[in-house]
Structure 1
Amino acid sequence: MANAANDEKVGGILGWVERTGNKLPDPVVIFLFLGLILIGISVACAGFGLTAQHPTQIGADGNPAIVSSQSLLSGENIARFWVEMTTTFSHFHPLGYVLVVMLGAGVAERSGLFGAAMRAALGNAPKVILTPMVALIAMIANHAADAAYVVMIPLAGIMFHAVGRHPVAGIAAAFAGVSGGFSANILPGQLDVLLFGITEVAVEGSQLDPNWTMNVAGNWWFILVLTFIYLPVIWFVTDKIIEPRLANTPFSNGISEAETVEDPSTQLSVDEKKGLGRAGLALLAVVTVWLIMTFGPGTPLIDEAACPVALEAEGQCAAVQRLSPFFKSLVGGFMVLFLGAGWAYGAAVGTVKNHKDLVAMMSEGMKDMGYYLVLAFAAAHFVALFKWSNLGLIFAIHGAAGIEASGLPLPIAMGLIVMLSATLNLFVGSASAKWALLAPVLVPMLMLLGVSPEGATAIYRVGDGATNIITPLMVYFPLVLIFAQRWNKDFGLGSLTAMMIPYSIWMLITGLLLVVAWVFLGVDLGPGAPIAYSLPN
């Protein structure tokens, strides 16, 4: 809709963020610029002889091994860059993990499963608990990626309007859940696969712990608790702050000249209900198969030799090491789960008529990953340059020593990291791009301070989600604005950002408090994923 509301300027800090962010290049180009800067820094550090004592490795003289900075313009590193270019890209762990999961998720989305599941979950929500139901389903809908924005957010507006409440308040609650609660969920999903793939690269690059195993479920308990921390926050902000402010704001019947996306209906057809039932059976079947492979005859997903009971009793290994194959299998497990459920649903409603339709949906899912492939290429080489220069580990060692020397309490240091990721999120929207920038230093630094790689990942994701909903640079921001303008044609960019600020503030505060409490209590972040960490002897 071409009106003045679309061109509304935002003042203050958000206006500055918008103007500054719009001047920034694409994240792919940012990686290129930072790579060039890193090359220059590596030359300078190598020239000055910057070093650090390795915390675990011993040199030939019996003293701690010395980690020396390496110039990325040395003949060896120049040759490595060009000779290993294909290997650097193809062996970038997040790339394979994400592509495998998206093979299944593409089918689940294009068959209509995700959209139907959201509509079914919200369709019969009682008025008294409509807000928390919207918030909870919106956070769960994170797994549906694009479908969560296209279906869940306008559907929430329709539901609020249907029970006599302000529809823009429903849009706000759903936007807060889908985007502000981006890192909260009841189950791990694609985001966990993506972030832990980058964490794994950071751990490998640090050479601090060759035995650490990537565990996709390493933040499961944390994101589950975060979901139910954010739930009352969104409920309170929506009902006590946002909706009262909208009380004197009139709204239309939801029809506008800018109608570009058809409103989703809350009514399910007979075929859709049957499809959801079959999808549920497919989900149970996949879970059952994985349980059989884990606990059944032969236990192929359990490595009994990894930690014999005798060694475990002596404290020489942890029982969780036996579960390493299971943790690694979850990437393939998610792919099969999404694929099976999407296929079952599609076959019932007619969106999947034969195997050709199935393959076509998988192919379309891969097409959507085109930009990610380009971003992964840039990120893979940036992370590799960090590793070859040794600067990631050196900065981590000196950073950890500086924090210890300053006497700064660990929870405060972790809170500062949350704020760093929240601030960076205002300018760089991609979760994977930001984590690829930060992980090479933050992950080993926190390992040296006694925080596990799973803990570092959890800390980062709290800040990454909370400010999604207040930056105009967020890719879905214009779409949410259009949804709001259907009910109020004068609703502009400033209106949307101002409406979402209370959510962002309270989600950031409660997320920070959860991080501090988790460190204090020292409970596991997920199955086999403690927050406390000790370097191997």
Structure 2
Amino acid sequence: MTTEQNTDAAQEGKLYRFLLKVEKVGNALPQPALMFLALCLFVIIFSALATAFDMQAVHPVTKEVIKPVNLMSAAGLSSILTDMIKNFTGFAPLGTVLVAMLGFSLAEKSGLLGTVLRSILVKSPRALIIPAVLLAGIMSHTAGDVGYVLLIPLSAMAFHSVGLHPLAGLAICFAGVSGGFSANFIISALDPLLSGLSQEAARIIDPQYSVTPLVNWYFMSVSSILIIAVGTIVAKKITLPFLGEYKGDAERSEPAPLSALEKRGLLWAGIVAFVLIVAILIGTVPESGFLRNPTNGSLLDSPFLKGIIAIIFFFAALTGLVYGWGAKTFRSQNDVTNAMQESMATMAPYLVMVFFAAQFIALFSISNMGLIMAVHGSDFLKSMNLSAVPLMIGFIILTCVLDIFIGSASAKWALMAPVFVPMFMILGLAPELTQASYRIADSVVNIISPLMPYFPLILAFANKYDPRARVGTLIALMLPYSIAFLISWSILLFIWIGFELPLGPGAHLKYIMP
């Protein structure tokens, strides 16, 4: 063995030892539901200690003294028992996510979303295959697990079929699906989930504050273009040269072309989508549109924004139904109801987590600990005299570190939002900005974290083309994308802050205390 090979082996050994430590720490963490149960107990005990030590703060608006509420007192325990059901059923993300998922379930189970993604790959010429794969990966966020389970192996197959290294196709698609997880041109199920958690956290400071699923839409749409551009550069300059020519034993095969039934289903779904888009434009573009505010014609406080989840539901459900009838993937009414029931069954882990997360956020608010911590935390940050950009840099770095150990976007945001959203609001930063910063950091680490739920599946796909591929192989392929996305995406956010651009409809960067 040469000196260079010895060095490589030593470096690989260090990498694996580090990864084993990361895996050990991550596996030691409890499941999200149990983590929030433990946090509930912590808040209850902490509220009693805070009361005993007379911890308090001055409300930044009313100037009233905020004192902790002892949840271990008779009144506190009574509140825990009587409000438990209300905390769960009134939790903002619960209804919005479930309704959106019911609509997406028909679009996914009918095969519409998978067919759209496959058609992008089949029809893409070799010269455009890299941006096409990245685009398909980004669009797959509306389709749940389809991006991981279907699109990534299809991309590897597509690259192999045109004479490119299949692991390059796998890595590029993985970068689009998971590294650009929050970027999208259209609203996905993630938007109502995160916005609901942001709204619950914002109401610790402002009980009337509203965060709609569209609050990051402008920024995430532009982010999609950024991810495609940066991903294409990394693929051409680093991934393809690094992998070189494929010399493995896997036989070439091409993604199956669309069948006549699938083409008919797409045509029918396209017609329905066109009609729905025209109806939405008629309702929103004219000042007298039926989806605008009937009093002042505004879109900011309108049936369109208030009913965006219902619109998403009908759009996804109707196009999915029509595709299913056209492609004959739905042959009876039982197929339709079964698709929706199967989708709800997959939400069981989410429902369990949400129950305990809802109790944690409610207890955090009732005890006044969230407000007290926000005031003291904001006072400390004020003393450092930091502007929005360095604050967001620190927040993004912290989120990246946590993302290595806590893979769930919703669990992590349910943990972080009640602390950071109110704190930054007191500093004059809107919840929409905090949420956008979180989404950047949550996305870019996914592709290099061995604790990401789909990481073993991606490694299994890689082993089809290279049996020697291991965790370090996949991380080496994905690290350039992770670093490039983190730097470029953060710069885009700082440019957005510098020009004070709205992040979405009615979503500004600054928050002015009432």
Query: Would you call these one fold, judging by a TM-score over 0.5?
Result: yes
- 1:224 corresponds, among 221, 225, 247, to 221
User: What does residue 408 of structure 2 align with?
Assistant: 430
- 1:49 corresponds, among 45, 54, 59, to 54
Secondary structure at the aligned position of 2:200 is classed as helix
User: What does residue 108 of structure 2 align with?
Assistant: 109
Gaps in structure 2 of 5+ consecutive residues: 1-12
Gaps in structure 1 of 5+ consecutive residues: 1-7, 58-63, 256-262, 310-318
Secondary structure at the aligned position of 1:377 is classed as helix
User: What does residue 8 of structure 2 align with?
Assistant: none
Shift of 1:172: 0.2
Retained in 1: the 8 A contact 2:299–2:305? no
User: What does residue 314 of structure 1 align with?
Assistant: none
User: What does residue 182 of structure 1 align with?
Assistant: 181
Aligned length: 502
User: What does residue 3 of structure 1 align with?
Assistant: none
User: TM-score under structure 1 normalisation?
Assistant: 0.89
User: What does residue 68 of structure 1 align with?
Assistant: 67
Retained in 1: the 8 A contact 2:151–2:173? yes
* Structure 1 residues 482 and 187: CA distance shift in structure 2, 3 A: same
Retained in 1: the 8 A contact 2:164–2:246? no
Shift of 1:284: 2.3
Using the alignment, how far apart are the partners of 1:292 and 1:237 within structure 2? 41
Shift of 1:295: 6.0
Using the alignment, how far apart are the partners of 1:95 and 1:179 within structure 2? 24
User: What does residue 264 of structure 2 align with?
Assistant: 274
Retained in 1: the 8 A contact 2:33–2:352? yes
Q: Which amino acid aligns with 1:21?
A: G
* Structure 1 residues 51 and 427: CA distance shift in structure 2, 3 A: same
User: TM-score under structure 2 normalisation?
Assistant: 0.93
CA displacement, residues 298-350 of structure 1 (integer Å, 9 cap, x when unaligned): 85543344xx59xxxxxxxxx55533x32120111111111011101100111
Q: Which amino acid aligns with 1:347?
A: W
Q: Which amino acid aligns with 2:100?
A: V
Is 1:331 aligned to 2:309, yes or no?
Answer: yes
Using the alignment, how far apart are the partners of 1:110 and 1:485 within structure 2? 28
Using the alignment, how far apart are the partners of 2:505 and 2:200 within structure 1? 21
| Aligned-residue identity in percent | 38
Shift of 1:214: 2.4
- 1:241 corresponds, among 211, 234, 238, to 238
Shift of 1:76: 1.6
Q: Which amino acid aligns with 2:66?
A: V
Secondary structure at the aligned position of 1:352 is classed as coil
CA displacement, residues 116-143 of structure 1 (integer Å, 9 cap, x when unaligned): 0001111121212211111121111111
Q: Which amino acid aligns with 1:278?
A: W
Q: Which amino acid aligns with 1:122?
A: L
Shift of 1:526: 0.9
- 1:417 corresponds, among 370, 377, 395, to 395
Instruction: Judge which range, 410-419 or 508-517, deviates more.
Output: 508-517
Shift of 1:81: 1.1
Retained in 2: the 8 A contact 1:216–1:328? no
User: What does residue 456 of structure 2 align with?
Assistant: 478
Using the alignment, how far apart are the partners of 1:245 and 1:266 within structure 2? 29
Using the alignment, how far apart are the partners of 1:112 and 1:65 within structure 2? 57
Retained in 2: the 8 A contact 1:192–1:217? yes
Secondary structure at the aligned position of 2:66 is classed as strand
Structure-to-structure mapping, 1:383-532, within 5 angstroms: 383-532=361-510
User: What does residue 376 of structure 1 align with?
Assistant: 354
Using the alignment, how far apart are the partners of 2:120 and 2:363 within structure 1? 46
Retained in 1: the 8 A contact 2:215–2:507? yes
CA RMSD of aligned residues (A): 2.0
Shift of 1:522: 0.5
CA displacement, residues 376-425 of structure 1 (integer Å, 9 cap, x when unaligned): 11111111111111111111122122111112232011111111111111
User: What does residue 139 of structure 1 align with?
Assistant: 138
Using the alignment, how far apart are the partners of 2:228 and 2:94 within structure 1? 32
Is 1:360 aligned to 2:360, yes or no?
Answer: no
Using the alignment, how far apart are the partners of 2:288 and 2:135 within structure 1? 39
Shift of 1:179: 0.5
Q: Which amino acid aligns with 2:143?
A: A
Retained in 1: the 8 A contact 2:158–2:254? no
Using the alignment, how far apart are the partners of 2:301 and 2:94 within structure 1? 26
- 1:208 corresponds, among 187, 206, 209, to 206
Using the alignment, how far apart are the partners of 1:518 and 1:509 within structure 2? 14
Using the alignment, how far apart are the partners of 2:300 and 2:473 within structure 1? 51
- 1:322 corresponds, among 278, 295, 301, to 301
Using the alignment, how far apart are the partners of 1:171 and 1:178 within structure 2? 10
Using the alignment, how far apart are the partners of 1:320 and 1:412 within structure 2? 33
User: What does residue 316 of structure 1 align with?
Assistant: none
